[in-house]
Amino acid sequence: MPFPTDGRNHHDAIKVEKTMSRFKKPYEEYYRKKIEKFIHVGGTKGKIDFTILFVDGSEIRKSLKKKKTIDNGSYDYINSSDFSIDFIPESIEVYNQYRGMKDNNSENLLIDAISSDLNNLPKEFITNFIKHKIIEESKKFDGLDIVETSTNKLFINVVPTFFETINNGGYLKVQDNGKKQMSYKLDLYDSNHNLLPETGLRIRLHLNNGWTKWYNGKTSVLVLKIQQDKVSKMLKK
């Protein structure tokens, strides 16, 4: 449920995670207890952006995403090189063969290889990757909150709709659109193999430090990203 705020203007340079105290009232209404203070943890590599310390001494750890509008844009769930390269054989072959060669055609060759590997990813790999890297990791904090900055609405304890489907035996598959590219939408199926409404999930395989460093033989490794397009599509109705 969205909680509207009073809409006071804030300087653009002030990060949302450093001004969460403006949402003190909706948080107190949601958790039904008084807040002593917000403790900001942003800037670390962890998924915890801030904690809320309540007057009764309890505290909760929160992860925060901010979007101008929940109908557009995207955010990352995970951007990781921690996966078996056995699932991306063509990409690894091209990556190793052309790294540092400054071949004008190397970018197209790698894009073609990435496209092929993504379209051949087994549904079991994608589903397990998301289950362990996103769903299980979400248990380390006390809920994902989203701020829609254009309306100053706060969405508290957002649970993406695909969590429940996957936990109940559902799975995800790459949506092959016939194009050579480095990212594709993911289709969600329930345990009975029924295609469910679009979730806005996307999978991307890319170079974490860009093409130039790869051309020059410097560090730029292949990483697998899961991102959320159109946040509204993953909210429970």
Report how far residue 98's alpha carbon sits from residue 114's, in angstroms, rounded to the nearest whole number: 14
**Half-sphere CA count of 184, side-chain side, radius 13 A:** 23
178-224 pLDDT, tens per residue? Answer: 999 999 999 999 999 999 999 999 999 999 999 999 999 999 999 99
What pLDDT is recorded for position 64? Answer: 87
Report how far residue 171's alpha carbon sits from residue 130's, in angstroms, rounded to the nearest whole number: 10
What pLDDT is recorded for position 141? Answer: 84
What pLDDT is recorded for position 233? Answer: 79
What pLDDT is recorded for position 136? Answer: 93
Q: For the chain, what percentages of helix, strand and coil (3-state, to nearest 5) are there?
A: 30, 30, 40
What pLDDT is recorded for position 193? Answer: 97
Q: Are 42 and 118 in contact (CB under 8 A)?
A: no
Q: Are 102 and 216 in contact (CB under 8 A)?
A: yes
Neighbours of 115 (CB within 10 A): 21
What pLDDT is recorded for position 13? Answer: 26
What pLDDT is recorded for position 121? Answer: 97
Phi, psi of 119 (to 5 degrees): -75, -10
What pLDDT is recorded for position 15? Answer: 52
What pLDDT is recorded for position 175? Answer: 96
Q: Are 208 and 220 in contact (CB under 8 A)?
A: yes
Could you say which residues of the chain have pLDDT below 70?
1-18, 42-46, 236-237
> Most distant CA pair in the chain: distance in Å?
63
What pLDDT is recorded for position 5? Answer: 38
What pLDDT is recorded for position 18? Answer: 62
pTM for this structure?
0.82
